[in-house]
Structure 1
Amino acid sequence: MEMNGLMGGLYRISEWIMRIAYINILWLAFTIAGLVFLGIFPATTGVFAVARKWRLGDTQIPIFKTFWKSYRSEFIRSNVLGYLIVIIGFILYLDLRIVQNIDGWLSTLLLILLFSLVFIYFFVVIFLFPVLVHFNSKTFQYLKNAIFVSIAYPIHTLLMLITSFLLIVMNVKFPILLPYFSVSILIVSIMFISYDAFRRLEEKENNY
């Protein structure tokens, strides 16, 4: 029997808290199971896959089965894309350190160029995994899709960046939340916002 009123609302809130805590525990467990460096990106993809199903309205999905299916099927691709992003980020960091040691107008010009690339880099990072679980493309096409969507929908991108910053600050302020909500609530928030951008993009394509 469905509960209504205050009790029904409290029940639904507690149910969502348990779901989000559960996928955070799954993320931690399977990240460690993959020896961290091989598990972190597939586990992240798995949580995004669950969050996407929730955003589509499938709130009663078997969480572990959905997570595991994505973790297993995207194991190689998520690691390839994840570590490609890590390498690009490291190269950008090194370039910034080098440019800081250059004097004159050339340094200013290079810094402007690099900071522009850094912004695009963060756009790709924040959209990459939502794109990975939502679209069906070739491996490196996901990077292009992430860039395209992030630039086409700047409001969504900005909202995702602000939300990510606030949730990271919250986790720093309240470290007791780390084992239960640190990653999952961030991923769910990003997926819910990014899905709206995907929906708008698909509606626009269907109208052509």
Structure 2
Amino acid sequence: MNPNGIVTTLEKVMNWISRFAVVNFLWLLYSLMGLFVAGVFPATVAALGVSRKWIAGNKEIPIWRTFKEVYFKEFAAANVLGWILTAIGTVLFLNYKVLQVRQEEVVFMVPFAFYFVVIVYCLVVIWSFPLLAHYQTSIYQYMKHAFIIGLSKVHITLGIFVTSFGLIYLSISYPAFLPLLFFSVFAFSWMWGAMYVFSQMDTANV
């Protein structure tokens, strides 16, 4: 066994842990800077933007500067998109509570239609933010393409779901993971799946 190889591997692992820790700290900091309600969505897009650079091979980017640039550049668009999706999610939640209360009065097909809408909503949420981090277009186009990609790339969508639940389980099992690395690792895996799809789309459009 080559000791130099072990040292090099450990150095790479520690470098990635430190990168993820910095992005996680920045996500928390900039979310709080916007009092969370105005900060969490642009901070999320900024974390995805940094991950996008890493996945593209730019591993030595200045993390703080890159994060800050994406945060302020996409501040308005991320908040508009985020709060539209939040409003839709709130309406769906209220409808769910109504269905629970009046389940005996509801027509048989209504719950199935409702859950279909919930699935569509989840697809749009999953894909809209990576699209915002990668492309420049309108809010409507982000949401429309999020729906199309979510349906056409079901295996990637499921992979993102499984990864997110796995990270949540890890955070519950090891609570220290949550404030140190959770969101940055999630953002990287989220963007990695998205970039796999986007690279195929970009190649097809060349």
TM-score, reference length from structure 1? 0.93
Tell me the equivalent position of 1:154: 154
Which amino acid is the alignment partner of residue 167 of structure 1? Answer: L
Q: Which residue in 2 is equivalent to 1:7?
A: 7
Counterpart of 1:196? Answer: 196
Cα displacement string for residues 95-136 of structure 1 (whole angstroms, at most 9, x for unaligned residues): 122223142671x31110110111111111111111111111
Specify the alignment match of 2:79 in structure 1: 79
* Letter matched to residue 151 of structure 1: L
- Say whether 1:68 aligns with 2:68: yes
Equivalents in 1 of 2:124, 2:117: separation in Å? 10
| AA partner of residue 122 (structure 1) | C
Which deviations, in whole Å up to 9, do the C-alpha atoms of 1:161-205 show, x marking residues without a partner? Answer: 010111111112211112111211111111011110111222233
3-state SS of paired residue (1:140): helix
Counterparts in 2 of 1:103 and 1:75: CA distance versus 1, 3 Å? same
Q: How far does the alpha carbon of each residue in 1:40-82 deviate from its partner, in whole angstroms, 9 at most, with x for none?
A: 1111111000000001011011111110011001111101100
1:128-158 deviations in Å (ceiling 9; x for gaps)? 1111111111122111111111111111001
- Provide structure 2 residue ranges, at least 5 long, that are not aligned to the other structure: none
What's the C-alpha RMSD, in Å, of the aligned pairs? 1.5
- What amino acid is aligned across from residue 179 of structure 2 in structure 1? P
Point out 4+ residue stretches in structure 1 off by more than 3 angstroms: none
- Checking the alignment, whether the CA contact within 8 Å between 2:99 and 2:106 is kept in structure 1 is no
- Equivalent residue number for residue 40 of structure 1: 40
Matched, 1:183 2:187: no
Q: Which residue of the partner structure matches residue 103 of structure 1? A: 104
Residues 1:4 and 1:116: Cα distance change in structure 2 (over 3 Å):
farther
Deviation at 1:4, TM superposition (A): 5.2
Q: Quick check: 2:23–2:184 contact (8 Å CA) kept in 1?
A: yes
Native 8 Å contact 2:27 2:44 kept in 1: yes
Is contact 2:51–2:191 with CA below 8 Å preserved after alignment? yes
